[in-house]
Amino acid sequence: MNKSLPIYVLAFFSLILCCIGTGCGGSDHAGSQSETDVLKQPFLASINDSIRRFPKNAELYLRRAILLSRSDAHEYANADFKKAWQLDDSKENALQYAANLAILGRSSDRLKLLEACIQKFPDVAEFKRLTGEAYIEGGKSKLALDLYENLLKKDSSDFEALYEKGLVLEQMHDTARALLALKRAYEMQPVNTYALELAHIYAETKNPVALQICDEVLSKDYARELVDPFFIKGIYYANTLQYNLAIAQFDSCIRRDWKFTDAYIEKGIAYYKQKNYDEALSIFQLAATVSNSDADAYYWVGRCYEVVNKKEEAIVYYERAALLDKNFTEAKAALKRLKGN
């Protein structure tokens, strides 16, 4: 199921030239004119003055970092989060710093910080869970699994660790154990997130229990705003070759959220599998309009053109897909097939 940051002050990232001695000493970018412009923003005037007066006060750097983050200046906030942590290596400062590193995509730095925090705060489970997430993001599934297993040895009722363990096992393609972990987590904490992850695995394994779980979630959706239950039901029907029923579920998704690109793509695939290439093409083109940066949409437009022997058109769309996603092996294989090189 699906996972962007808000846009704010473009002036934050404009000019470049040296400027040393501003007295705002928390920055890793010290000396750049662009940073000086950022830190001279009026809303930071008061906190800047306080930092000049009390340069060893970790709380002041943390406050400025939070203000910068709220203005989407995460790179500049990073230096202050780091400075706050250096001055006061508390749990709270570590969590703020780790969250900032996650936003910036600095995975290795985040993992080093979290591993250090596990040593410093051995009884704080939150750092272990975050480290598990970092392991997963870095492709270290076995390390993540070991970490969650150790958490559960200490507390078998830790439903969050069970849920995360289930996700890791799913990633490792150990479906049977993933289901066991997720079922236990859902029994302990019957929330939609756990229910839908469980239903998703059932749908992928063609188990009709997926429908039951989704219907239970929908029966409690009094605001009538959830789309994932319909999508998962559509996946189940598509996997069991009940394409018309699948299309009806994907249409339900689109009625509730017309920007849900995956629903268009899965609907198009259902038409494609029925060899209704004209209808499939129109759906995939619509998906590309709804989200013009979705590589899958362009790839499937290419598939439709290729299957009706419009090779030149297919090549154009495969190229767009490959350009949007450098790791799109299927699009690259299609281009090699059609271009003959």
CA 301-303-305 angle, to 5 degrees, is: 70
Residue 242, CA atoms < 13 Å, CB-side half-sphere = 14
The answer to whether residue 330 sits within a structural domain is no
Give me the mean pLDDT over the 304-329 stretch.
95
Cβ-based neighbour number of residue 241 at 10 Å:
12
The answer to whether residue 98 sits within a structural domain is yes
For 95, the domain range is 1-105
The more confidently predicted of residues 12 and 281 is: 281
The answer to whether residue 43 sits within a structural domain is yes
pLDDT of 287: 96
> What is the enclosing helix (H) or strand (E) of 19?
strand 18-19
Instruction: Round to the nearest angstrom and report the end-to-end CA distance of the chain.
Output: 37
Beta strand 31-32 with 18-19 is antiparallel
Of the given ranges (33-42, 80-89, 325-334), which has the lowest mean pLDDT? 33-42
The answer to whether residue 150 sits within a structural domain is no
Q: Whose structure tokens read 């249409």?
A: 251
The answer to whether residue 259 sits within a structural domain is no
The answer to whether residue 198 sits within a structural domain is no
The answer to whether residue 213 sits within a structural domain is no
Residue 62 sits in a domain whose CATH number is: 1.25.40
Put simply, whether the predicted model's pTM sits higher than 0.75 gets the answer no
* Structural domain total, the chain: 1
Tokens describing residue 23: 């007295």
Quote the radius of gyration of the chain (alpha carbons, Å).
25
Q: Are 302 and 315 in contact (CB under 8 A)?
A: yes
The answer to whether residue 331 sits within a structural domain is no
pLDDT digits (tens, 9 = 90+) for 44-68: 888 888 989 998 999 999 999 898 8
